Amino acid sequence: MTETRRSEKEHAGVLAALQAALAAEHAAVYGYGVVGARTDADGRRAAREAHTAHRARRDALARAVRELGGTPTAAAAGYVLPYAVPDAATAARFAAELEDRVAGVYADLVRAGTGERRREAAGALREAALRAARWRGGGVAFPGLAERTADARSGGGADGGR
C-alpha cells in the first residue's frame, strides 16, 4: 500500500470515528433531556451538567468533522428510548447506559486518532466513564470496552444497532 493510500485510509477512519462520536453526543444530548425530566433535584443538577458537557463535545466534534472536510452528522428529530423511563432509578440507569455508549465510541476514536485528537478522545472517554460510574454507583473494568463485548453478543453497536 502506498503512503498516500494509507494516509487516505487513516483519514477516512478518523472521520468515521468522529462522525460516530458526534452521533453518540447528539443522542446523549437528547437522552439527558429525558433523564432530567424523570429524576430528583440532585439528579437534575447532574443531568444538567452532563447535558452541558455533551453539548460542548458535540459542538467540538462538528467542528473537527468540518476541519477534515466532512459534513457533520445531523441529530435525529427524535430518538427511540430502549425502555420506558418513568422514575429516578430508571433515569439513572438510562444515564449510565448513555455514558457507556459514548465511552464506546470515544474508545474507537482513541484507536483511530493520533496526537491531540487521541488525547481529546481519551479525555472524553474518561469523562463519560466517570459520569457512568456516578450514575451507576460503580465503575467497570475497561470503560469503553465492556459494552463492546455485550454489543458484539447482541449484534448491536454503540449507536444501539442503528
**161 assigned to some structural domain:** no
Would you state the pLDDT for residue 106?
97
Would you state the pLDDT for residue 142?
66
d(CA 65, CA 12): 11
**160 assigned to some structural domain:** no
Would you state the pLDDT for residue 160?
42
Q: Is residue 39 within 8 Å of 54, Cβ to Cβ?
A: no
| Mean pLDDT in consecutive groups of 10 residues from the start of the chain, 162 residues | 64 94 98 97 96 98 97 96 97 97 96 95 96 89 61 43 36
Would you state the pLDDT for residue 153?
43
Would you state the pLDDT for residue 162?
34
Q: How many domains does the chain contain in total? A: 1
Would you state the pLDDT for residue 161?
38
d(CA 143, CA 104): 7
State the CATH number of the domain containing residue 136: 1.20.1260.10
Residue 92 sits in which domain range? Answer: 3-72+86-154
